[in-house]
A and B are shown apart, each in its own frame.
Chain A
Amino acid sequence: MEIFKLRIIKNKVMKNLKIIFIGFFLALVSFGCSDDFLERLPPDALPAEGFLNADRAELAVNAVYATLQTYELYSNTLSKLYDPPTGDAILVNTSGYGFNNFQYTTADPHLMEVYSALYEGVFRANIVINDVPEIEMDADLRGRYVGEAKFLRALYYWHLTTLWGDVPLFTEPVEVPSDALIAKTSREEIYSVMIQDLEDAEAALPLKSSYSASDVGRATKGAAQALLGKVYLYKKNSDLQAEEWFSKVIESGEYDLVDDYGDIININAENNKESIFEVQFAETGQADLGTFRVAYNNPQVNGGTGNTLPTQQMVDAYESNDPRLNHTIFMEGEEFAPDLGDDLATYKSVWSSTGYNLKKGLFPVMYVNNRGTNFPVIRYADVLLMYAEVANQLSMIDEARNAVNKVRKRVDMPLLTPAETGTQGAMFEAIVHERRVELAYEFHRFNDLKRWGLAEEFLGPLGYKPRHRYYPLPQEEIDINDLLEQRTGW
């Protein structure tokens, strides 16, 4: 009975219009919501359009530097294109074995990685060079920003032309992908753009000593001068100009050799007086601000992967008692990392398939991800040796010998005498040797051998052929761009 009564009451309720009203109201509430429901902006980025202004110009400049630090360049891959082809190092436990013996193909992904990253740097520099002059702001600062970008653009093109020869040239930022589909420009033409950029940068950039402490690491007048000298060194028949620019660096009094060769690449002695331009890395808790160079080259016992291993050939290249060997390569029984425990106190050759591990820049060993170590692009010893090279070319053999001897004196190696190096030829031989051991694993040897015309002699047994003078353009770039022609021989 009771049930029935309930029913009836329910029926009454349903006649109540209240619910109908509520229903409609609900519908209206949810229909009438705000119009920006579909307007979702990225929570972590601002639109590119209208981004740059006086306050944010520096962000765009810093981004040009940031490319140097990427995995593809100084943090990892770039070394694969420069070190293993010299035979002074061999890649293991990684990818890119083709660089050990000139077996890489046009489709090698490392070529693509480096090529791509260098153009990223060019693109970012072009944005600054193109847009920053339009900003109303302090003129000196604006000039410096553009100068920094021009220095870096020249550096990126220096790598591109050194590795690939003729490549597409961009002096304005690409806006749509089709802008990038252009033909190659000759290396000579790109050189004139680089020279112009560096001259502009040299004029606009402050001396290293005039930067504030918080700006250490930025491109300087000295860096622009040194790179200009280097560009002329690599350019044919330009020894006079090269000599002029290297002399300016030397005479500026801004730079000198550090006393201890072990401080050249040392996390405890960064941006020292020998440093002209170095890529900055720091261990800040941000993965992308450290270098993988340390982890990848530490032996596996220290959690690394031991990728680039020094070879016997490199060990043999040192004169006996050259202390630079012990600063460059870990060898059996040497101090390794006593702080990390007894088992890591001394280096053991079984940790490596060649018996050696890279030490330059990895010492002192703290722990594997000691990733904050900077890496030199140009240092004073390099400038001295480049100066020596052009001086020798210009028949200033004594000046050349003096410069080399400055480098040798630092490590207490016997000084070169006029008796040994009285001729241009003998002096050149001495410079070839000195560059190899002083600048080992700093990406110079492969370029030097090629520009000196010695590559076939030294690298022929490794598989070097004339077509390896420059790397082939990445196959994907050839496939995508009808105007881009592959280098002959590839």
Chain B
Amino acid sequence: MLKALKFSYRELDYKSLLYLKSLFIKIGRKHQILAVLVLSAIFSTTSYALPEENEFETKVQLTVSGVVTDVNGMPLSSVTVQEQGANNGTLTDFDGNFTLGVSSSESVLIFTYVGMLPVERTVGGNTTINVQMREDTESLQEVVVVGYGTQKRSDITGAVSSISANDIAGQPVANINEAIQGKVAGVNITPSSGEPGAPLQIRIRGMGTFGNSGPLYVVDGMPVNGSDVNSIDPNQIESMEILKDASASAIYGSRAANGVVLITTKVGRVGKPQMTYNGYYGMQTFNNFIPLLNSQQYAELNNDASRNAGMAPEPAFANPGSIPVDTDWQEVSYRDAPVQDHSLTISGGGEDARYSVSGGYFDQKGIMVFSSFKRYSTRVKSSFNVTDKLTIGESINLSRSLGENMGQGNNLDFAYLLGAPPTMPVYREGNLGGYGGPNPAETGRNNRDNIVARRDNMRNNSAFNKALGNVFAEYEFIPGLKYRLNLGLNFGLNTNKAYTPKYEAENRSVLIQSLNQSKNESYEYLVENLFTYEKEFESFNISLLGGYTRQNASYSYMSGSIQEFPSNELRVIDAGTGSYNLSGNEAEWALESYLGRANVTVLDRYLFTATFRRDGSSRFGAKNRFGNFPSLAVGWNVHEEGFMADVNSISSLKIRGSWGILGNQEIGNYVSQTTMNTSPRYIFGEGQAISPAAAITSLGNPGLKWEETTQTNIGVDLNMFKNALTFTADYWIKDSKGVLLRTPISVASGIGRFNGPYENAAGIKNSGFEFLLAYRKAAQDFNYEISANVSTVKNEVTTLGRGSTILNLVNNAYNFGVFTHTAVGESMSSFYGYTMDGIFQNQQEVEAHATQPGAEPGDVRFRDLNGDGIISDEDRSVIGDPFPDFTYGINLSASYKNFDAALSFTGVAGKELYNSQSAYLESMDGEHNQMATTLNRWQGEGTSNTMPRAVRGYINDNARPSTRFVEDASFFKLRNAQIGYNFSKSVANSIGVSNTRIYISGQNLFTITDYSGYNPDVLGGSGWASNDLNPLSMGVDTGTYPIPTTVQVGLQVGF
């Protein structure tokens, strides 16, 4: 007994210290007073908590002893054992044993334990009473985490999807978003790239804004950016809740317009310390290459292109049949790469303290050479009931991630990889560094770099250090009325170092070393004051929430580069001897909010939720700084009605409806003000000295205010046949008004086209349906569950301010030009271009067609849409859009005796992409390698009506944005398949563990699609980097790091 006590008090003191330390670190100077007060409160209570002398005596007649265990036979410590109606009681010890003197054999013993159903036993004649306690599943499973609290599932009025630890378990994913792909209706998760450490793009219910369309993430109460989620080990997730409609997310007001994802990390459960290990080791493979030309085919195409342009063939290709080198650049750039993950969690607790401590290690090599991502993470989460009324706790995540060549799986890399001449050797003896490179005499005019040499030499190492967490103190004044102070911290320190040594690769040699190093620090704190009141009355329950919160974030960035080093081995700034460059920046923002929510449940069947949030943001002008975000929702538990009593097949039926207004503030930090920018400078004087300058480089808009989205949702939840069948359906409308938009302005103003003022200019409407249907059946040995979900999104631009159309310029290594167009009445980012109408087969056809400057037989014929007899910019039109007709997921799981299996499919139907990469690889202009599809090019009348001739130059610009490159990107893929085996208890126990499961699983085992690029499941973007996504050029596939097929074996052990 004493042993247990000592343990818990030692733990407590240690936690107090930790708490003290973290408080001081985390909170700003302003809040230090507060921290001291919290601490004094804690110490003033704990100091009283020392044993003192007996005050009561109990007449002991009989001594009872026994062991308390859970259903698995594991002993439970710190279970309260009390004699009913008397003042005596005890706690079980570490091994679940208790001994208690009771007054008589009629006495009733009550066993209570948090999270377990209470047990009553009459002593009778027994002096040994062994008790098995069951989890209070009602309270555990039916509770859903909502913003600033929890709610019973049956009381929820909003559209909330939950993902539990079980749904994520055993899936080898680096990022938690990956694990929920295809499992939640209305949530579209696309891996922007298969590159290690790359973030995922998550879109909840369409695209409602022109800026950042990702949701708000809240980790254990701390709102964070999407990129911060990468620092969290998926093994540490207890649950994820996706708040999709206004009722659910309005409590996050200003930042909830794109939905909210709540992440709760694992909490300790009362009981003996439990240790679990989760780990896997797998292999990633990729060989779904894009067929490209070999050396001979490449040389022939180039000769063809030169000939057609009236130019002499390149000397290097004089004899296409006898070129000695034939490099398959995909073969040499991709490799099989291992991935492994290990995590260990220890959790447990007594009645007054619960804890969970874990550590994780994740290591993924990239399938593209010279890339990797590693993450070390550790997490502590605990809570203490200091007194019956005061609870304190914390959740702290620390992680360090190391990436090599991250962010280099970009457009430029793929332009080099796929466009490189097959005539170029990978290696060349005698060159410094040993790599080959392009040179006109041998490999042709194509000057694409040797990608292997480039990635090997230009190593880019990143480190991401993250401390994310919160501490809280909660005090219950009177039963039901609680005050909670929550202090959150999000600290990040990222560093990056890129060194390019001196190396030879012919024409692409680099003979000057250069080093670039940068540091990026972010610091964000949150202070929340929350009051909650809950009370149950005869016929109704109420739950009230009121709060005041502040959040402040600041960022600083510094970068330096220097050139020329005495040796390739010297790789730090102070060893550099050449020119250098220094840059830096700082920014900050602040948010102040008042929030309130009332939930009323009448007779368990009529549910009402009202929320209100008032947010003030530093990003807006003083006049419009605050925005109000109300929401209302009703729910009706139809099955509770008397008239449903006889309908036995229906176990529950709920109809929900909600309405609310949400906000968005995702614009630059200071864009409401017009300022004099002092970054322009000039040089004057004989000494060529820097002279400062100041200019207006962008225009502010002091009248700027919050973007508002009105969301309406109607839904129904139906459970039938004792919950065997579950059906959920929702219809939603998100109507965004005053969407923050930097309308392009005339550059004749002297201000850059995209540096005009932000305006609350546009309107976008999204609407859609979501359905989820699941059936589960449990038998003695055989359990299974089948679920399917389908969702649709319709996107339409309703206004665009001054009515102008936004033509978005795409500029990257493949192409530049206008590929998309955003106009009123159409989907955002509709593809925009010419309509291909076959190939001119002969000169007569060219002449018979509208004037198409430069066109010759073999060139693409574009349609004269406006009928003016000339092919010009006026003949462009909308030629597709990236919004799918619907997306769906199918999940199957089953278990038989000790075996279990799961399959998870996802699919998208009716989606189009503009394949910018194939525009580059089918340009046939002789500048880079081409896809094998160009073997079927036009080579004379009647040879092709789809693939034009090869020709150098841009005479007809056959690769201009047109229907030629709009592709159907619908797909269906097996995202995850898994088979597991649970060792029986006796086997597990015999090797000293409580349970053990091994599994084998595979990801992306197959994809069915007609799409010709690496990956149909991309959002598309515009820039050079694969994650440089711009909603205004969504669907333009600029080339992404391929998604590998992964197969791994995993082990889960409970000790």
Chain A: residues with CB nearer than 8 A to chain B? 1-6, 8-14, 18-20, 22-23, 25-27, 29-31, 33, 37-49, 51, 56, 58-63, 65-67, 69, 92-93, 95, 97-98, 100-101, 103, 105-107, 109, 112, 115-116, 119-124, 126-127, 167-168, 170, 173-174, 176-177, 179-182, 213-218, 270-271, 280-289, 300-303, 340-341, 343-344, 350-351, 353, 367-369, 371-372, 474-477, 479-481
Contact A19 B475 (CB under 8 A): yes
CA A2 to CA B692, docked complex, whole Å = 76
Given contacts A10-B45, A41-B670, A369-B512, 12 further A-B contacts (CB under 8 A): A30-B548, A31-B548, A41-B673, A51-B676, A60-B693, A63-B680, A65-B693, A112-B747, A173-B750, A301-B509, A303-B512, A343-B504
> Would you call A475 and B873 a contact (CB within 8 A)?
yes
Verify A49–B674 contact, CB threshold 8 A.
Answer: yes
With contacts A4-B88, A27-B483, A60-B695 taken as known, whether A47 is within 8 angstroms of B744 at the C-beta atoms is: no
Output the nearest chain B residue to A115 by Cβ-Cβ distance. B747
* Residue B494 lies at the interface, judged by CB distance under 8 Å to chain A: no
CB distance from B246 to the nearest CB of A (A): 25
Q: Which of B34-42, B63-71, B709-717 contacts A (4 or more CB under 8 A)?
A: B34-42
Interface centre among B44, B587, B746, B957 (most CB of A within 10 A): B746
B744 lies within 8 A of A25 (CB): no
**B477 within 8 A of partner (CB):** yes
B4 to chain A, nearest CB (A): 10
Q: Which residues of the other chain, A, contact B682 by a CB distance below 8 angstroms?
A: 62-63, 65-66, 69, 217, 280, 289
Q: Are B586 and A43 in contact (CB under 8 A)?
A: yes
Which residues of chain A are within 8 angstroms of B72 by Cβ–Cβ distance? none
Query: Is A59's CB under 8 angstroms from B694's CB?
Result: yes
Q: How far is the CB of A172 from chain B (nearest CB, A)?
A: 11
Contacting A at CB under 8 A, from B31-55, are 31, 33-34, 37-38, 40-41, 44-45, 48-55
- Please give me the 10 A-B residue pairs with the lowest Cβ-Cβ distance, nearest first: A123-B750, A180-B749, A62-B693, A45-B675, A116-B747, A63-B695, A59-B694, A66-B680, A40-B618, A63-B693
For chain B, which range describes its interface: under 10, 10 to 19, 20 to 34, or 35 or more residues? 35 or more
Residues of B within 8 A of A288 (CB): 679-681
**Known contacts A109-B816, A123-B751, A38 near B617 by CB under 8 Å:** yes
- Would you give the shortest CB distance from B593 to chain A, in whole angstroms? 11
Contact A343 B56 (CB under 8 A): no
Check A281 against B510 for contact (C-beta < 8 Å). Answer: no
A38-B592, A350-B439 known; A25 and B753 CB under 8 Å? no
| B residues in contact with A20, CB < 8 Å | 475, 477
Q: Say yes or no: A62-B681 contact (C-beta < 8 A), given A22-B40, A103-B955, A353-B445.
A: yes
Bound state CA distance, A176 and B51, in angstroms? Answer: 75
Q: Say whether B37 contacts A218, CB under 8 Å.
A: no
Q: C-beta contact mask, B889-921 vs A, less than 8 Å → 1, else 0?
A: 000000000000000000000000000000000
The answer to whether B675 and A46 touch across the interface, beta carbons within 8 angstroms, is: yes
Contact of B30 among A33, A51, A289, A302 (CB under 8 A): A33
Which stretch, B196-204, B574-582, B855-863, touches the partner chain A? B574-582
Decide if A174 touches B508 in the complex (CB within 8 Å). no
Residues of A within 8 A of B51 (CB): 2, 5-6
CB nearest neighbor in B for A367: B512
User: Given the complex, which residues of B lie within 8 Å of A214, measured CB to CB?
Assistant: 684-687, 689
Q: B670 near A477 (CB under 8 angstroms)?
A: no
The answer to the question of B90 belonging to the interface, with a C-beta cut-off of 8 Å to chain A, is yes
Contact B954 A107 (CB under 8 A): no
Chain A hits for B33, CB < 8 A: 29
**Which listed segment binds A: B227-235, B294-302, B537-545, B804-812?**
B804-812
- Pick the contact of B588 from A40, A106, A116, A303 — CB < 8 Å? A40
**Is B563 interfacial (CB 8 A cutoff)?**
yes
Q: Does B722 contact A (CB under 8 A)?
A: no
Closest B residue to A369 by beta carbon equals B579
Chain B residues near A33 (CB, 8 Å)?
Answer: 30, 550
Instruction: Kindly report which residue of chain A lies nearest to residue B690, judged by CB atoms.
Output: A284
Whether A479 touches B683, Cβ cut-off 8 Å, given contacts A31-B529, A62-B691, A107-B818, is no
CB pair A26 B512 closer than 8 Å:
no
- Residues on B with C-beta less than 8 A from A23 are 475, 477, 483
A26 touches B689 (CB 8 A): no
When A116-B752, A181-B746, A301-B507 are in contact, do A97 and B681 touch as well, CB less than 8 Å?
no
A357 to chain B, nearest CB (A): 12
A109 & B811 in contact (Cβ 8 Å cutoff)? yes
Contact check, B753 vs A476: say whether CB atoms are below 8 A apart: yes
Can you report 21 residue pairs joining A to B where beta carbons are below 8 Å apart? A2-B1, A3-B1, A4-B87, A5-B53, A11-B388, A14-B389, A33-B30, A38-B617, A40-B670, A59-B678, A65-B693, A67-B680, A116-B747, A116-B753, A177-B743, A214-B687, A281-B683, A282-B690, A289-B690, A477-B747, A480-B804
Distance between Cα atoms of A40 and B669 in the complex (Å) = 9
Alpha-carbon distance between A180 and B87 when the two chains are bound, in angstroms: 86
Q: Closest CB-CB distance, A15 to chain B, in whole Å?
A: 10
Shortest B899–chain A CB gap in Å is: 46
Whether a CB of chain A sits under 8 angstroms from the CB of B953 is yes
Q: Does B319 contact A (CB under 8 A)?
A: no
CB B620 to nearest CB in A, in angstroms, measures: 9
> Residue of B at shortest CB range from A96?
B816
Shortest Cβ distance from residue A238 to the other chain B in the assembled complex, whole angstroms = 27
Chain A min CB distance to B1015 (Å): 26
* CB pair A289 B749 closer than 8 Å: no
Once A41-B670, A45-B678, A214-B687 are accepted as A-B contacts, the answer to whether A119 and B54 lie under 8 Å apart by CB is no
CA distance A282 to B38 in the complex (A): 57
- Cα separation A141 to B512 with both chains bound (whole Å): 45
Q: Are B618 and A127 in contact (CB under 8 A)?
A: no
Docked complex Cα distance between A67 and B752 (Å): 12
Residue B763 CB within 8 A of the other chain: no
- Which residues of B have CB within 8 Å of A215? 684-685
Given contacts A30-B550, A63-B694, A179-B749, contact A43 B512 (CB under 8 A): no
